[in-house]
Structure 1
Amino acid sequence: MSENRAFFRETVEQILADTLDQSRIEASERRMLPAALYKALEENGVTRMLVPEGKGGIGADIGDSFAILRAMGAAAAPGPIVETMLGNKLLAEAGLEPADGLIALAFADDGAAVLHAVPWGGGVDHVLAVTPSGISLSASASWEMEAALDAADEPRDTLRGSLGAIVALDTSATLRTAAILRAGQMLGAIEWTLARSIDYAGERKQFGREISKFQVIQQMLAELAAQLLASAGIAEAAADAGRETLIAAARSRLGDAADAAIGIGHQVHGAMGFSKEYALNHRTRRLMAWRDDFGSVQFWRRRLAGGFVTCSREEFWPAIADAGNRRAA
């Protein structure tokens, strides 16, 4: 990790420690965002991480943002941080000023009148619609909202209205950028789940000894650690390279790791893990929601496979070996 990247992550970890606790995480299930957290993130330039310095941002890259989002995921920080960071990036690329406040991001067709399952769609300042032709920014208050929730009981609202003027912009890479940024949050939540499961196994006693001494528990934790390490390697590479094939592989691999974290984390914790007052559920339920954000696991596996289906027998292995340089179909 570079010095700048380590500094970014340490800064955000300190902000999270100062502004986010269990009660504020739980408040998000009542559609209440942690105001102190987002005020501090905005003051420290995090919401404009991906905006060039000349346009009032930090000028960081996707890999830097990925590191920050990893910390946010580990802390189960609620709210549209990915959407706001990416939204401001798109606004800057379109020659517009970054937005003040928080942004909800929606992928839609040109002329769409309904935006489906928009994270925090009715609880932010702006809605940014990403279409094949470009982007359209509007006030969230201009949309009629039908409230809904995801697996973490955070808002996934349906918005009805009409898009404003569309500013022309090449948005072909936007979905994969959103996908790898969300992957950072997923990776952080998986890391937290493994670390807490290891600690809990060392604390919980059964039949006169810590459950961490039972072979079956050791095997489950080893399996989760392997899933984490494999996912981290490919996700970090994908964030730095930005190539479609790597991002497709990372999201596919993280889908498996998320399933392992949810299952193993709760098995190790037993009944304690299913208590809503216990911190584990805030990570595992977010993993249930995040694993299908910006393309489901199946979607990304099809994208990954699509890059190789036309290969001949002689071409297949060289193509796999050079996957990081290939463009997904």
Structure 2
Amino acid sequence: MALTTELKTRDELDFGAWISLNNVQIVPLEINYFWSAFDNYLEFLTGFSGRTNVELETDAGKPTNSPGAIVRFDFQGSLVRDRLLYNDRQNYVWKMDIPEATNLFTLYIVTITAQKIDDNYTKVSITVEFVLQSQNREERAQALQTLKAYLPKRIGEIIKFLQHRDGQGFKLASLSELEISQLAQDFYEKLDQHAPPEEITPFLSLADNDFKMQFPSSTLHNHEEFNQWYKNAVNTFYDEIHAVKEMTVKCQADRADVNAIIHWEGSTWKAPNAYSKRVVADAQHSWEVVRSPDTFKPIYKSYIVHKLDFAPGSSKP
């Protein structure tokens, strides 16, 4: 699911602003197996990227794997101490904070929850709440950008931790129609928002040599070609709407073939025209979807738009 930002003040970069970031993902693992990642506090925190010199504090009788346990590490040039608040194995709620302010944060709280979907899939949510420490707006902006970059990686890193821990005993569920429906919803939400390209490309298997994204007027194979196409698209269309009207999914172990009809609308305007024009069409699509080796989320390996059926009275791009 998409990364969302909830603002507790008018401007998230105001000094002293309380900021909440949330990331939700459908995980192809049974809930109790996924939750076993939290069994060992030190091992769990060692699995996250961006951290070095990770150590468990054991002085003064501190607990090692229960509420109050503290793990310290270096992050972005600062010493950080994470304190476990609780691990509720019955209700699947895990929470930690920092016991004192750091160079980056006055306050920092992380809450992870899990909800069973079925015997193979779990809905996982990570919420990070914090107040940035610096009185310099540019420094606060940089810290916020860093957090927004790391947060979407965390659930995938938990899955990788389990994969590394259990070796051959680790097994993901096959791709499901539920996951692919969520992929389409999140992807089109970003397109309609005209999100930055770095928020779009994680949905695409651009590292594959045989990646293909094809439209009636162009075919894309790599980052450079996609970025140029996307730049042209967001500078041509506005007030866009993408919606899945129909979708047929054939899932295999590690891939899925999808046929879909996507309703698309967008407005265009060219000077010196007095009015904008509206494009309304149903597009016939076929996709090949695979699981990302980094995030374990479904991504498009091929994305083909075969035909646009324009509505009566629609403009044509």
Asked whether the two chains share a fold, i.e. TM above 0.5, the reply is no
Q: TM-score range by the shorter chain?
A: under 0.3
Higher strand fraction (1 or 2):
2
Choose 1 or 2 for highest CA Rg.
Answer: 2
Question: So what's the TM-score if we normalise by structure 1?
Answer: 0.26
